[in-house]
Amino acid sequence: MKTILLPFVLLFFVFQSYAQLQSPKDFLGYEPGAQFSRHADVVNYFEHVAEHSPLVEYHTYGKTNERRPLTYAVISSEENIKNLEQIRKRHLANARNEAEADIAIVWLSYNVHGNEASSTEASMKTLYALITEKQDYLENTVVIIDPTVNPDGRDRYANWYNQVKAEPYNTSQAAIEHNEPWPGGRPNHYLFDLNRDWAWATQIETRERLKIYNKWLPHVHVDFHEQGMNEPYYFAPAAEPFHEIITPFQREFQTEIGKNHARYFDEEGWLYFTKERFDLLYPSYGDTYPTYLGAIGMTYEQAGHVGLGINTDEGYELTLTDRVEHHHTTGLSTVEVAHKNAERLNKEFNSFFDNSQLENKSYVLKGNSDKIAALRNLLDRHEIEYGQASSNRISGYVYEQGKSGSFTAGENSLVVNTNQLKGKMVDVLFEPSTKLVDSLTYDITAWSLPYAYGLDAVASKRQVSAENFADRPEIKNTPQASGAGYVSKWNSMQDAQFLAALLKEDIKVRFSEVPFENEGKKFDRGSLVITKSDNRSLEDFDEKVTRIANEQQRELLAAKSSFAGSGPDFGSPEIKVINTPEIAVLRGNGTSSLNYGEIWYFFEQELQYPITSISTDYFSGVDLSQFDVLVMPEGNYSKLLDESGFHNLKSWIRSGGKVIAIGRAVSEFAGKNSLNLKENKTEKDTVSPNLIPYAQRERESAKNLITGSIVKTKIDKTHPMAFGYDDTYFSLKLNSRSFSLLNEGYNVGYLEEPEVIAGFAGSDAIKNLENSLIFGEERLGKGSIIYLVDNPLFRGFWQNGKLFFVNSLFFVNNNKFRL
Ligand SMILES: [Zn+2]
């Protein structure tokens, strides 16, 4: 009896469980678009669907800084889901030209910007539609849905909105529910823009996503966004400039997808625009990065950034329901086009990976082994292959000279060839400068990795042979019972982390202002000297120092004597004690949330050194005497630094405080009484009266523009801010702001005749950069103001700039006494 009944019972349960599959409305209790859902609710719904549908797998791929799950669903026919691993491998084999494939892979990424919040709502609706009414698309298509790329930002927005919204919702633009407070929900926990981070992979969300993305390398990738509330909808094809690596098929297929969307939008009478504004150049976006890996990468932008309903300037009410409907429509339409063109997508995907036409066959880099290690880390995250050069002479474009020449590779030289799966991405990331067909772009126009990492490099038209990169031998320092102390080099971020770790464990450290020699070994400026004498109170001094050095993999010289072979001995005034600084960082209204985030992330995750963040709201009431350093992110401080505010700040500086001003914050000090910093203004040499036609004004203003270009900068390497650097540095210039050289004070990084190595810089803007400051220090009483005109922490990716910031914290005018 039992044995006969069992199959029926099972069947009943199977039937029951599928029958329980609920629509988003039934599950959530409201139609998508009627409310903003919290991330946890969205995850619950996806789990529910995966549990009740054989067409869906749902996985977690990581956790955010605030411990929210990062997730993705894989959706296809029941048959395909059973053979998913086989489909995936076949797809990658097709890219490698080892097999043919016929299934289309579409990846839909929702809500990378947390406060563009309609898209996550749409993801639930689209998931449900795919497994119910649109099942036929899934026969030859695998759809991957990441419902929330940025859960921390999304919840920051959704929770805030749910807290302040009126009931029923208020459609006035003045209502609080349409006006987010600083920093807004757009960025992630560390206030990074995740749609600028794909290539640099500084953030946990990106790092975890890339692992899954690399497993799939989809044919089509869509990044769902929102734009201003008065701009109805944007979809592909994208705007110029397109990177030259983008294939004719990729361009053409964007149009094909766009036309399919247009069909649906026209039917409903919904407005949209294409081919404007959103270009395909900077490689760190959710459209370009996938494009450079063979996908049709696209950005869709819905009018939004507002609550459940608002009266737009054009006089109609824009509702969340409409926003969801539009994103839902383009999502499904994308899958439809892929489904109808699966064969073609697979064929073209295969040809994309033929890299034989790339002009540069190899990029070879040499230099500081810590910097090579940092670059290897990045390449590993992208699963880009590389090797170690056997020592030889290579001719090609030499980055440092900015022209053709020859280059001798050393033992530790890194070779990255373009005849690999990701050869086109290699080309985009390493090429000395990107070809620009149009100067008006949405983002920076230069990012070449050798300059960003401070490595000498050559781009060669011949392939350079390489062997496996040998891992660095493990460093094991042993404690020295007798002797004067330890010495360690100073020229990389890894050295900076070592210093931070020593200071956190209350070890006194000195740095040398001049080169010296000990035990026959030469040490350059900035080298760390850790003496027994300074740390007499520590019983386990030797064990502690060597343990920290081993943890940080830093090589110590155990100095038997403090007597120098040449240069100063350890007791010399040239070898200065580093005061462990108490550091305050400003945040909040008036400051750039992105730059504050870069600083916050840098201290917490990279340097690993504590800071006190202070909001501009109550800054004027804070007793600054408890701090040694105040970091002022990019921002507008006109309110904070009114007459009395500036007076207070100056008296704190005079008594020994140090301000580090970044980017726009530098302007706050220009032209101020008792300071000699001055801003250079571009001369307006236009005809007067201005006869430039209206339609040309935008182009004309480009003459004054700099959009993220690389400039060759002179460095005074004898100044403590530049310790660890040579006399040339390639700076990433983000705008055309220019300051004159300091008459008094120190010009540490500066331009004489500006040499733009890569990226767009307008003719007037270049002229205005003549004799201008990049990094400098001005003294005021006992204290200093440090000007970082170019932000060295920009998006956390300009690796070679970071030591200027660290030096400013620990070495520049570091008063021995606490105020
Ligand atoms: Zn966006």
What digits encode the pLDDT tens for the residues 131-179?
Answer: 999 999 999 999 999 999 999 999 999 999 999 999 999 999 999 999 9
Helices in 180-291 by DSSP H: which ranges? 204-216, 248-268, 288-291
The alpha carbon of 171 and the centre of ligand 1 are apart by a number of angstroms equal to: 22
The alpha carbon of 396 and the centre of ligand 1 are apart by a number of angstroms equal to: 40
pLDDT grade for 6, boundaries at 50, 70 and 90: very low
The alpha carbon of 226 and the centre of ligand 1 are apart by a number of angstroms equal to: 5
Q: Under a CB-based contact definition with an 8 Å cutoff, are residues 452 and 378 in contact? A: no
The alpha carbon of 108 and the centre of ligand 1 are apart by a number of angstroms equal to: 14
pLDDT grade for 686, boundaries at 50, 70 and 90: low
Three-state SS string across 649-702, please?
Answer: HHHHHHCCCEEEEECHHHHCCCCCCCCCCCEECCCCCCCCCCCCCHHHHHHHHH
| Nearest by Cα to 467 from 350, 395, 358, 386 | 386
Coil, strand or helix at 279: strand
pLDDT digits (tens, 9 = 90+) for 482-541: 899 999 999 999 999 999 999 999 999 999 999 999 999 999 999 999 999 999 999 999
Can you give the pLDDT at residue 1? 40
Q: Which two tokens stand for residue 204?
A: 């946990």
pLDDT grade for 564, boundaries at 50, 70 and 90: very high
Specify which residues 298 forms β-bridges with: 222
pLDDT grade for 697, boundaries at 50, 70 and 90: confident
The alpha carbon of 7 and the centre of ligand 1 are apart by a number of angstroms equal to: 51
Can you give the pLDDT at residue 681? 82
Helices in 69-225 by DSSP H: which ranges? 78-82, 84-95, 118-131, 151-164, 204-216
Cis amide leading into 181 (omega within 30): no
pLDDT digits (tens, 9 = 90+) for 132-144: 999 999 999 999 9
Share of the chain above pLDDT 90, in %: 88
The alpha carbon of 229 and the centre of ligand 1 are apart by a number of angstroms equal to: 13
**Averaged pLDDT of the chain:** 94
Give the mean pLDDT of 20-48.
98
Residue with tokens 């002797």: 483
Can you give the pLDDT at residue 329? 98
Higher pLDDT residue, 8 or 583?
Answer: 583
Can you give the pLDDT at residue 471? 87
pLDDT digits (tens, 9 = 90+) for 290-313: 999 999 999 999 999 999 999 999
pLDDT grade for 443, boundaries at 50, 70 and 90: confident
Q: How far is CA 140 from the centre of its chain?
A: 35
pLDDT grade for 691, boundaries at 50, 70 and 90: confident
pLDDT digits (tens, 9 = 90+) for 595-647: 999 999 999 999 999 999 999 999 999 999 999 999 999 999 999 999 999 99
CA distance 396 to 359: 11
| Residues whose CB falls within 8 Å of the CB of residue 632, separated by 6 or more in sequence, listed in order | 586, 591, 659, 660, 661, 662, 665, 668
The alpha carbon of 120 and the centre of ligand 1 are apart by a number of angstroms equal to: 13
Q: Under a CB-based contact definition with an 8 Å cutoff, are residues 360 and 461 in contact? A: yes
The alpha carbon of 112 and the centre of ligand 1 are apart by a number of angstroms equal to: 7
Neighbours of 67 (CB within 10 A): 9
Coil, strand or helix at 716: coil
The alpha carbon of 795 and the centre of ligand 1 are apart by a number of angstroms equal to: 16
| Nearest by Cα to 748 from 784, 771, 721, 768 | 721
The alpha carbon of 780 and the centre of ligand 1 are apart by a number of angstroms equal to: 43
The alpha carbon of 148 and the centre of ligand 1 are apart by a number of angstroms equal to: 13
| Residues whose CB falls within 8 Å of the CB of residue 523, separated by 6 or more in sequence, listed in order | 487, 489, 512, 515, 516, 517, 557
Give the mean pLDDT of 61-66.
98
What percentage of the chain's residues is helix, strand, coil (to nearest 5)? 35, 20, 45
By residue count, the chain amounts to 819
Q: Under a CB-based contact definition with an 8 Å cutoff, are residues 218 and 295 in contact? A: yes
The side-by-side arrangement of strands in the sheet containing 141-146 is 56-63, 69-75, 141-146, 104-109, 220-227, 296-303, 233-234
pLDDT grade for 383, boundaries at 50, 70 and 90: very high
The alpha carbon of 225 and the centre of ligand 1 are apart by a number of angstroms equal to: 4
Q: Under a CB-based contact definition with an 8 Å cutoff, are residues 546 and 479 in contact? A: yes
The alpha carbon of 113 and the centre of ligand 1 are apart by a number of angstroms equal to: 5
| Residues whose CB falls within 8 Å of the CB of residue 511, separated by 6 or more in sequence, listed in order | 490, 526, 527, 528, 529, 575, 576, 578, 720, 723, 810, 811
The alpha carbon of 302 and the centre of ligand 1 are apart by a number of angstroms equal to: 9
The alpha carbon of 383 and the centre of ligand 1 are apart by a number of angstroms equal to: 27
Of the listed ranges 95-99, 191-195, 465-469, 776-780, the one predicted with least confidence? 465-469
| Residues whose CB falls within 8 Å of the CB of residue 510, separated by 6 or more in sequence, listed in order | 528, 529, 530, 531, 534, 570, 575, 576, 577, 578
CA distance 416 to 361: 9
Give the mean pLDDT of 354-362.
96
The model's pTM: 0.95
Can you give the pLDDT at residue 15? 46
